[in-house]
Amino acid sequence: MRVTRGIVSLLALVAVFAAPVVAVPIAASSAAAATPFAGIVPHRALYKVSLARSASSSEIIDVRGRMGFEWRDDCDGWAIEQRYLMSFSRTSGDGYEISSRYTTWEAKTGDLYRFIVERQRGGGAELVRGRAVMPLPLGSGSGKAVFTDPRPEEILLEADTLLPTEHTLRLIEQAKLGKRFFRAKVFDGSEVEPGSLVSAVIGAPKSDAPPLDLPVLSGEYWPIRLAFFKPGQSESRPDFEMSLELLANGIARRMLLDYGDIRVALTMERLETLDAKAC
* Within-domain flag for 275: no
pLDDT over 50 (residue 35): no
* Within-domain flag for 273: no
What confidence category does residue 37 fall into, taking pLDDT thresholds of 50, 70 and 90? low
* Within-domain flag for 274: no
Which residue range is the domain that position 216 belongs to? 3-268
Q: What is the mean pLDDT of residues 210-220?
A: 95
What confidence category does residue 235 fall into, taking pLDDT thresholds of 50, 70 and 90? low
Of residues 48, 56, 41, 84, the one with CA closest to residue 247 = 41
Q: Are 9 and 18 within 8 A, CB to CB?
A: yes
Backbone φ, ψ for residue 199 (5° rounding): -110, 125
Q: Are 141 and 159 within 8 A, CB to CB?
A: yes
pLDDT over 90 (residue 63): yes
pLDDT over 60 (residue 13): no
* Within-domain flag for 21: yes
* Predicted local distance difference test score (pLDDT) of residue 101: 95
User: Which long-range contacts link 174-178 to residues 24+ away (Cβ below 8 Å)?
Assistant: 174/24, 174/29, 174/200, 174/202, 175/202, 175/205, 175/222, 175/224, 175/246, 175/248, 176/248
C-alpha span between 229 and 235 (Å, rounded) = 7
What confidence category does residue 236 fall into, taking pLDDT thresholds of 50, 70 and 90? confident
Least confident interval from 2-6, 39-43, 134-138:
2-6
Q: What angle do CA 211, 214, 216 make, to 5 degrees?
A: 100
Calculate what percentage of the chain has a pLDDT beyond 90.
Answer: 74
- 257 against 31, higher pLDDT: 257
* Within-domain flag for 71: yes
Of residues 279, 276, 226, the one with CA closest to residue 39 = 276
* Predicted local distance difference test score (pLDDT) of residue 111: 95
Alpha-carbon torsion (228, 230, 235, 239), positive or negative: negative
* Within-domain flag for 276: no
* Within-domain flag for 217: yes
What is the average pLDDT value for the chain, to the nearest integer?
86
Q: Are 246 and 209 within 8 A, CB to CB?
A: no
Cis peptide, bond prior to residue 137, ω within 30 of zero? yes
Q: What is the mean pLDDT of residues 121-142?
A: 92
Q: Express each pLDDT in 167-191 by its tens digit.
A: 999 999 999 999 999 999 999 999 9
Least confident interval from 23-27, 127-131, 264-268, 272-276:
23-27
Whether the model clears a pTM of 0.95, i.e. scores above it, the answer is no
* Predicted local distance difference test score (pLDDT) of residue 42: 95
Give Cβ neighbours of residue 124 (< 8 Å, ≥ 6 apart): none
* Predicted local distance difference test score (pLDDT) of residue 93: 87
User: What's the structural domain count of the chain?
Assistant: 1
pLDDT over 60 (residue 118): yes
- 222 against 39, higher pLDDT: 222
Crossing angle of helices 164-176 and 3-11, in 10° steps, is 50
Q: What is the mean pLDDT of residues 236-242?
A: 86
Q: Express each pLDDT in 144-167 by its tens digit.
A: 999 999 999 999 999 999 999 999
* Within-domain flag for 252: yes
Task: Residue count of the chain, please give it.
Answer: 279
CA separation (Å) from 64 to 48, 94, 96? 8, 14, 11
- 113 against 36, higher pLDDT: 113
